[in-house]
């Protein structure tokens, strides 16, 4: 009896060692595949996270395989293991098997009624008696400002590639007449933070260096000096407060800038306020000193628009993106799912987006007067979140994004009775002009 037990124990030990040896061979192949098969970041993470579980399950599999290999139940065992493995791999998205299945069963055939929709990203598209044409595409969001002369100012900026440095930045300002024709252009190169010229209510203002240009309004690029008050911080607290109250009451335009220690020039070592304001057709700057601990800061409210945005994409405080609904003359009607993707990476920007999305086209309609532009836009769709403001049949379809992985929020449209053209954009970095064909 004791001899039989000894043989049984030895047999179990042999079985364990054989299954362990087979498991080691499999894990060696597993490690080799990790370094030889091209994998995404998510797949590499799956390899690492699931490796202990793979080791244990493989050992168990080979143990029972060797145990049952001479019996009739082996085929049922293998079938059960295969089914369990398929379910596990699919439900956990291992090797993107679930993505492959979704793409295999997805029908991307486009309904016939959308076959003639044009690509909105074309340089030019005609519809009816109108034409929509791309005026500018920039690397950064574009500013738009309509002057009192009914001339549109468009501001773009481009960072010059220079070892990933922030500067220099090229600023270009374009001036369009009431018919949408470019009539002037002004450019300057910004080499430091203090070199910036801010487009503010029709003027280009350098707050740091106390000068302005009135090119947007009058076409003059000459630097004009801004008269300053209290630059030497010699005013008393009462004098400061009295002056600021007067400025706040009478100034037509006003903007305030906090100058911190790190930005201060040689004359000013402390943090202070610079209030630049427009009064009686002149620009002035007042220096507010608040280094005195007993001085109660006089907070003046800005007058005028700091952010230049005709599309209404910013909130009333001009501090964050406004989540506007699409204009009434723009409706989306269909989204074509072409390919299911996981863990996107944009080579151009270096941005990445983890998660599952559809690559496809959004089909929409833009109505101008009695003409309808039927267009499509190449966008990615995440159906699990709803940051975009696009609805089809009164239902939000999810979060749309561009190739760069940046979110797409909404289409925007601008019209003004004083202008003989309209503006359209599908991206903050683009502006299209819509004109009647002559």
Q: Which of 224, 221, 201 is nearest to 212 (CA)?
A: 224
* Helix 41-68 and helix 2-36, axial crossing angle in degrees, nearest 10: 150
pLDDT tens for the 438 residues of the chain, in order: 445 555 566 677 777 888 888 888 888 888 887 777 766 666 677 777 778 888 888 888 888 888 787 777 888 878 888 888 777 766 666 667 777 777 888 888 899 999 999 999 999 999 999 999 999 999 889 999 999 999 999 999 998 876 567 889 999 999 999 999 999 999 999 998 889 999 999 999 999 999 999 999 999 999 999 999 999 889 988 899 899 999 999 999 999 888 876 555 545 557 788 999 999 999 999 998 877 766 667 778 889 887 898 987 655 554 455 556 788 999 999 999 999 888 776 656 666 666 789 999 999 999 999 999 999 999 999 999 998 999 999 999 999 999 888 899 899 999 999 999 999 999 989 999 999 998
Backbone angles phi, psi at 10, to 5 degrees: -65, -40
Q: In Å, how far are 192, 210, 211, 387 from 267, measured between CA atoms?
A: 19, 14, 18, 48
For the chain, what is the largest distance between any 2 Cα atoms, rounded to a whole number of angstroms? 115
* pLDDT value, residue 267: 54
* Helix 74-91 and helix 97-105, axial crossing angle in degrees, nearest 10: 80
CA distance 90 to 156: 47
* pLDDT value, residue 262: 55
* pLDDT value, residue 53: 82
Q: Which of 438, 422, 332, 419 is nearest to 369 (CA)?
A: 422
* pLDDT value, residue 14: 78
CA 17 to chain centre: 56
Q: Are 204 and 195 in contact (CB under 8 A)?
A: no
Q: Are 177 and 151 in contact (CB under 8 A)?
A: yes
Taken in order 416, 422, 427, 428, is the CA torsion positive or negative?
Answer: negative
* pLDDT value, residue 97: 74
Q: Are 300 and 275 in contact (CB under 8 A)?
A: yes
């Amino acid at each position: 009896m004791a001899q039989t037990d000894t043989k049984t124990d030895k047999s179990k030990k042999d079985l364990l060692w054989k299954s362990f040896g087979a498991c080691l061979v499999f894990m060696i192949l597993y490690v080799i595949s990790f370094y030889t098969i091209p994998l995404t970041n998510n797949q590499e993470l799956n390899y690492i996270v699931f490796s202990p579980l793979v080791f244990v399950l493989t050992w168990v599999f080979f143990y029972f395989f060797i145990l049952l290999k001479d019996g009739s139940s082996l085929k049922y065992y293998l079938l059960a293991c295969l089914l369990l493995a398929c379910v596990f791999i699919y439900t956990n998205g291992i090797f993107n098997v679930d993505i492959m299945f979704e793409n295999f069963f997805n029908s991307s055939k486009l309904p016939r009624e959308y076959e003639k929709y044009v690509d909105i990203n074309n340089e030019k598209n005609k519809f009816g008696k109108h034409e929509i044409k791309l005026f500018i595409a920039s690397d950064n969001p574009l500013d738009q400002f309509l002057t009192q002369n009914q001339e549109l100012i468009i501001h773009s900026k481009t960072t010059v590639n220079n070892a990933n440095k922030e500067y220099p930045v090229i600023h270009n300002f374009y001036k369009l007449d009431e018919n949408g024709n470019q009539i002037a252009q002004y450019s300057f190169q910004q080499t430091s933070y203090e070199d910036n010229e801010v487009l503010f209510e029709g003027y280009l203002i350098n707050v740091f260096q106390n000068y302005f240009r009135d090119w947007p309004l009058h076409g003059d690029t000459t630097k004009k000096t801004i008269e300053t008050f209290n630059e030497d911080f010699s005013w008393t607290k009462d004098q400061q407060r009295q002056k600021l109250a007067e400025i706040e009451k009478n100034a037509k335009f006003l903007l305030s800038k906090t100058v911190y220690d790190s930005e201060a020039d040689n004359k000013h070592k402390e943090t202070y306020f610079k209030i630049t304001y427009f009064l009686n057709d002149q620009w002035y700057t007042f220096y507010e000193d608040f280094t005195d601990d007993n001085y109660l800061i006089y907070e003046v409210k800005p007058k005028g628009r700091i952010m230049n945005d005709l599309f209404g994409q910013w909130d009333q405080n001009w501090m964050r993106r406004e989540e506007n609904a699409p204009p009434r003359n723009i409706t989306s009607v269909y989204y074509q799912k072409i390919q299911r993707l996981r863990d996107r990476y944009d080579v151009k920007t270096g941005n990445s987006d983890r998660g599952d999305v559809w690559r496809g086209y959004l089909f929409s309609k833009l109505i101008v007067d009695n003409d309808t532009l039927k267009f499509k836009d190449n966008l990615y769709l995440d159906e699990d979140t709803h940051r975009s403001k696009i609805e089809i049949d009164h239902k939000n379809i999810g979060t749309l994004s561009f190739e760069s992985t940046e979110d797409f929020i909404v289409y925007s449209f601008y019209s003004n009775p004083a202008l003989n053209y309209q503006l359209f954009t599908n991206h903050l970095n683009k502006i299209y002009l819509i004109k009647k064909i002559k």
